[in-house]
Amino acid sequence: MTKPVMPADFKRVFEEMPGGAAVLNELTRRFGRAVYVTGGNEGDRETCYRAGQRSVLDFILREINLADGVDDDLDDETPPHDD
């Protein structure tokens, strides 16, 4: 049985290990570009392709943020409630 990967693992790999920050910078450079592409069906396909690539980068960054105590997940549709 393998240990579940936790946000702290992402922080350790990408921020604390030698070369981790450089790898994260390269991933950001390659896959952090604008997602939307104009151009009909071909533009739609490229937009979907880029969105898929971007989602991986967004996941990594979200995990690092969680390890740092930052929870800025805008996908969470559960509204805050008053007790």
For residue 76, pLDDT over 80 is answered with: no
If one counts the domains in the chain, the total is: 1
Region 6-27 average pLDDT: 97
In a domain, 53, yes or no: yes
Domain that holds residue 56: 36-67
In a domain, 8, yes or no: no
Cα 63–Cα 66–Cα 70 angle in degrees, nearest 5: 135
In a domain, 73, yes or no: no
Please, are residues 7 and 64 in contact by the beta-carbon 8 Å criterion? yes
In a domain, 5, yes or no: no
In a domain, 27, yes or no: no
Q: Which secondary-structure segment (H or E) carries 45?
A: helix 40-67
Of 77 and 13, the one with more pLDDT? 13
In a domain, 40, yes or no: yes
For residue 81, give the amino acid letter: H
User: Would you state the pLDDT for residue 1?
Assistant: 82
Structure pTM?
0.77
Token reading at 79: 């509204």
Q: 4: helix, coil or strand?
A: coil
In a domain, 72, yes or no: no
Of 20 and 2, the one with more pLDDT? 20
Query: pLDDT tens digits for 26-61?
Result: 999 999 999 999 999 999 999 999 999 999 999 999
In a domain, 6, yes or no: no
